[in-house]
Structure 1
């Protein structure tokens, strides 16, 4: 098993945290992992992305040029990385921030208004976790228990009061995929 993921959006959207979360959860499940962050010239508000590799075999390189999955949280990221997704791959987008459409018919696209869903949960900043939950449910790459444990490591102790809302958001994304109440192309 080899999963190569690019998570991309604006700085401040939790892009790096999502990547770290996947990486730590993979380590908890004794998988081989890598995490490679990339920032634009400014962090908050600038572009940010990270590449995550999760594998049952040792990871030869943290670089991802043909991701199996793209999680895009803004239009510039979608435009940049959508052509790179390998045939048979998956793209997950937040439709409140990505209004572009994929013209490809060789990939699966999951569209969800994660920002609106996060607002319904009471915190717009957990939109990224809703998208992550959708990814986890769709791919079954990592277990929810590992993700919850990793979240305790990714969030600093002074932010542990946010564990509950983040866990709720992850479960929300998973549930939407289970129920197929989101747009899947």
Structure 2
């Protein structure tokens, strides 16, 4: 199996850490992975995206031009990446912030009010983990367990106190799929 993912939003939304978590989790599971970050001119508040390739076979290129999945956290990223999702692909949106609506009928779209749910958990910064949990429940190529194991590698030691909150957010996102997606 081959999964090519684009995660995109503003700097500071946890785009890069989502990609790193998928890459580390894939490595833990013995898969071949690549992670390619891309930043706008500013790190915080500027645009940020990353491409992740996870495969059972060696990865030929880290460049993802036609993703099988796009996880989008803001409107500019929607405009940039939504047209490039391959037919039959998946689009996951943080509908708390993305106000654009797709007209495509050849992809599956999951809208999650991730920022709203993150605020209910007590910290808006875990919106990214809610979206990642939604992805993991919908495309079970990488396990939630492996992503949880990878939190220690991606979060800096001074953020280790946030691991439990991140786990709750991942689980909340996975539960969203069960409760809202048929």
TM-score normalised by length of structure 1: 0.97
Moved over 6 A (4+): none
- How far apart are residue 56 of structure 1 and its match? 0.2
> What is the aligned partner in structure 1 of residue 166 from structure 2?
166
> What is the aligned partner in structure 1 of residue 73 from structure 2?
73
> What is the aligned partner in structure 2 of residue 33 from structure 1?
33
Specify every segment of 5 or more residues in structure 1 that has no aligned partner in the other structure, as ranges. none
Q: Are 1:52 and 2:52 matched, yes or no? A: yes
For 1:109-148, what per-residue CA distance to the aligned partner results, in whole angstroms no more than 9, with x for missing partners? 0001100000000110000000000000000011121111
> What is the aligned partner in structure 1 of residue 17 from structure 2?
17
Alignment of 1:143-162 (within 5 A): 143-162=143-162
> What is the aligned partner in structure 1 of residue 125 from structure 2?
125
For 1:17-42, what per-residue CA distance to the aligned partner results, in whole angstroms no more than 9, with x for missing partners? 00000000000000000000000001
Q: Are 1:3 and 2:15 matched, yes or no? A: no
TM-score normalised by length of structure 2: 0.98
- How far apart are residue 174 of structure 1 and its match? 0.1
For 1:71-109, what per-residue CA distance to the aligned partner results, in whole angstroms no more than 9, with x for missing partners? 000000001000000000000001111000000000000
Quote the Cα distance in structure 1 between the aligned partners of 2:103 and 2:86. Answer: 14
- How far apart are residue 178 of structure 1 and its match? 1.2
Specify every segment of 5 or more residues in structure 2 that has no aligned partner in the other structure, as ranges. none
Quote the Cα distance in structure 2 between the aligned partners of 1:111 and 1:179. Answer: 13
Quote the Cα distance in structure 2 between the aligned partners of 1:115 and 1:159. Answer: 20
- How far apart are residue 158 of structure 1 and its match? 1.5
Task: Calculate the aligned-residue CA RMSD, in Å.
Answer: 0.9
Quote the Cα distance in structure 2 between the aligned partners of 1:114 and 1:24. Answer: 23
Give the number of equivalent residue pairs: 182
